[in-house]
Amino acid sequence: MALDAVPLLRNEALTALAAAGDDAALRAWHTAYLGRKDGRLTGILRTLGSLSIEDRKTVGAAATALTLELEAAFEAREQELRRSALARSIETGRVDVTLPARPHLQGGLHPVTQLLRKILDACRSMGFSIVEGPEVELDYYNFEALRIPQDHPARDMWDTFWIDERVAGQTPLLLRTQTSPMQIRFMEEHKPPIRIASPGRAYRFEATDTTHEWMMTQVEILAVDEGLNMGHLKGTLLDLFRRLFGPERRIRLQASYFPFVEPGAEVAMDCYVCNGVGTGCASCHGTGWIEMLGAGMVHPEILENMGIDSRKYTGFAAGMGLERLAMQYYGVPDIRWWYQNDLRLLSQF
């Protein structure tokens, strides 16, 4: 073995180490030069026996020193590679804070809910309490207690969805056709004076078109007290509409029939778009009036059935459907659009 084998190996090993660019190359380098079994330095140490004692000492010491030097160089190179790999990953994974943010969709209340809240706020400020009842209702509360017995022709107007299950000893279950059942439920538990507004969903078995849906949102108003008459009903509704549609509004009552009131009335409000002029107005179809709700004086028979003395107490009730009112209010021509979840429509309100 040549005496300069150690310095030659040193140059070669350090050059190769500088060229090792990743973890795998580094491992391979370590095995090639410092490996216990086949490493190049081990090879030199194995051949020491062929040298003179003097040379053996010199070369042996140089080889041992080189082993330590190469191990240190290996560790340094390993650190260096780790640092640069970290720097690279920071560079490539960097967040570009100058990019414009992705827009967040901000939710909002459905237009019908917005209108419902306006109406309930107005009712509350007029002294009405808000009460809610079940959407799955007994035939008794939805029809019978409201003077619509089994074979009453008014049931044709209010065909609904029936539930297969029965509550033992009770009338059949159905999806309520109106929020009026809450009148009965409330009067069962409370004595006059009564002032409630009852909002909620109601259902009809109905073919849908631009003005008919099988589900609707209603608000029912009920007041029972001593000496209430049609004047109080009219005044209350006029006040309510003026709070919602402006202080100059007028209302019109036309005689109508509902089994649970006597007398009953269809209530219209003068059109807030044309101020009741009518001619050429799309909102009121040229009539000057907008149909708002059905109302009337609570039938004395209902009060008596609830244990309320109808000679002492009288009451008025009114119920309105909000989807049609919202069509007028927001200028939407098709009632079905409210529940198609189309953001192009809903995000306008």
**Interface contacts to Zn ion, rule CB under 5 A:** 271, 273-274, 281, 283-284
**DSSP-derived secondary structure letter, 163:** P
In angstroms, give the least distance from the CB of 238 to Zn ion: 18
Coil, strand or helix: which one is 199? strand
Cβ proximity to Zn ion, 235 vs 286, nearer residue: 286
Cβ proximity to Zn ion, 16 vs 281, nearer residue: 281
Cβ proximity to Zn ion, 145 vs 269, nearer residue: 269
Which one, of 145, 122, 125, lies nearest residue 133 by Cα?
A: 145
Q: How far apart are CA 35 and CA 13, in angstroms?
A: 13
In angstroms, give the least distance from the CB of 124 to Zn ion: 29
Sign of CA dihedral 37, 42, 43, 45: negative
Cβ proximity to Zn ion, 148 vs 269, nearer residue: 269
The contacts of residue 299 (CB under 8 Å, 6+ apart) are 147, 259, 260, 261, 262
In angstroms, give the least distance from the CB of 173 to Zn ion: 42
Q: What is the largest CA-CA distance in the chain?
A: 137
Sign of CA dihedral 212, 213, 215, 217: negative
Q: How far apart are CA 214 and CA 161, in angstroms?
A: 10
Q: How far apart are CA 205 and CA 158, in angstroms?
A: 8
Cβ proximity to Zn ion, 215 vs 281, nearer residue: 281
Cβ proximity to Zn ion, 153 vs 280, nearer residue: 280
Crossing angle of helices 111-125/230-245, nearest 10°? 130
In angstroms, give the least distance from the CB of 284 to Zn ion: 3
In angstroms, give the least distance from the CB of 322 to Zn ion: 20
In angstroms, give the least distance from the CB of 230 to Zn ion: 26
Residue 41 is encoded by which pair of tokens?
Answer: 């330095």
Q: How many residues does the chain have?
A: 349
